Amino acid sequence: MNQATDAMITHIGGPTTLIEVGGWRLLTDPTFDPPGRTYHFGWGTSSQKLTGPAVSPAELGHIDAVLLTHDHHGDNLDDLGRTLLPEAGTVLTTESGADRLGRPAHGLAPWAATTLSAGGRPTIEVTATPCRHGPPLSRPIVGDVIGFALRWDGQRHGALWISGDTVLHHGTRAVAERLHIGTALLHLGGVRFPITGPLRYTMTGRKAVELCQAIRPHTVIPVHYEGWRHFRQPRAAIERAFATAAADIRRSIRWLDTGVPTSIPC
């Protein structure tokens, strides 16, 4: 295992990553169903899963905590992902999601914080960050979503931030004002649905560059941009957007091969 200042991150697929740091094993947005199924998200929206996970639940091993940005969309928590929740020591999610899931889920409002602590491991402070999973005034339809910023002693570059499913808005811009971000796992893909036309429900590459101009992270890791029909911006489009950015932002992007544990300096 790396030093506690670094993290080992495995992109399992979609929004799902395994973050290992200082003996902790943290899982984001568990999605482990096989491909082929169509999931309905409500209000006439749906999508088909095209790609399965690079790691199966049986191969995953013990999980100390699940960081669940939201529970009500199948591309962030699917059936097999739900079966993992009771086995995790802690599940952190939205307040409304915790009400729906029950124990062991613990709800956090945006900017609320909690800690993960255990003997012999670094204490990790987890701060919930704001998300808006769609255009203005869409929250009653798309539901509550949060991101997570993780801080522990010895970080060299700043917090590890999971953006969650969000567009660029005042809440995500506030992250730059309130937190120093070293590593950003950005949920991208520019989600759109036929029924709502040009409206976007997650960030495009261009909006991600705009966000990075504000937060100036050391490392940017794109996730949740592939594997489903409702994503409209694949890797090539994101790469084109970052190719026009300032030199430090161009250098910051790091693409992870799915299923391969990768050391990330934090």
How far is it, in rounded angstroms, from Cα 4 to Cα 265? 10
265 in a structural domain: no
Q: Is 204 exposed, middle or buried (0-12, 13-18, 19+ CB in 10 A)?
A: buried
Give yes or no for residue 248 having a pLDDT over 90. Answer: yes
- The string of pLDDT tens digits covering residues 40-92 is 998 889 999 999 999 999 999 999 999 999 999 999 999 999 999 999 989 99
261 in a structural domain: no
38 contacts: CB under 8 Å, gap ≥ 6: 46, 47, 48, 49
Placement of tokens 């003997």 in the chain: 119
The confidence band for 240, taking pLDDT boundaries of 50, 70 and 90, is very high
Q: Tell how strand 24-28 and strand 6-13 pair up.
A: unpaired
Q: What CATH number has the domain bearing residue 109?
A: 3.60.15.10
Whether residue 260 contacts residue 9, with contact meaning beta carbons closer than 8 Å, is answered with no
262 in a structural domain: no
- The string of pLDDT tens digits covering residues 186-229 is 999 999 999 999 999 999 999 999 999 999 999 999 999 999 99
How far is it, in rounded angstroms, from Cα 140 to Cα 226? 26
Predicted pLDDT at 3: 47
Give yes or no for residue 1 having a pLDDT over 80. Answer: no
86 in a structural domain: yes
Strands (E), the chain: 6-13, 16-21, 24-28, 38-42, 45-48, 65-67, 90-94, 105-108, 113-116, 124-130, 146-151, 159-162, 181-187, 219-223, 262-265
How far is it, in rounded angstroms, from Cα 6 to Cα 116? 17
Predicted pLDDT at 12: 98
Instruction: Report residue 16 as tokens.
Output: 């799902």
**Amino acid identity for residue 14 in this structure:** G
Number of domains in the chain: 1
Placement of tokens 């992270």 in the chain: 217
159 in a structural domain: yes
Predicted pLDDT at 2: 42
- For residue 161, the enclosing domain spans 6-256
pTM of the full structure: 0.96
